[in-house]
Amino acid sequence: MNVQIIRLFLVALFVPAFIVLARSLGARSRALRSLLLFTFPALVGFSIMFPSIWQTFADWLGVDRGVDLLLYVTVLTLVTYIGYSFGKFRTLEKRIATLVQELALLRAAQENQ
Partner 1 sequence: MTIKDFTEIAGETCCIIPMYNEEQVIVDVITNLKTFFPHVLCIDDGSSDNSALLAEKAGARVLRHSVNIGQGASLATGFQWVQQNETFLYMVTFDADGQHRPEDACQLVTELSNKGMDVVFASRFFEPNQSTIPTVKRLLLKTVTKITNALTDSQLSDAHNGLRALTVEASRSISMTQNGMAHATQFVSLVRQANLKYIELPVTVLYTKYSRSKGQSLMNSINIALDLIWE
Residues that bind partner 1 (CB under 8 A): 86-87, 90, 93-94, 96-97, 100-101, 103-105, 107-109
Neighbours of 97 (CB within 10 A): 10
Cβ 72 to partner 1 shortest distance, Å: 25
Find out whether 62 and 7 touch, Cβ atoms under 8 Å: yes
* Smallest distance from partner 1 to CB 35, Å: 25
Q: Which is nearer to partner 1, 43 or 79 (CB)?
A: 79
The least distance separating partner 1 from the CB of residue 40, rounded to whole angstroms, comes to 26
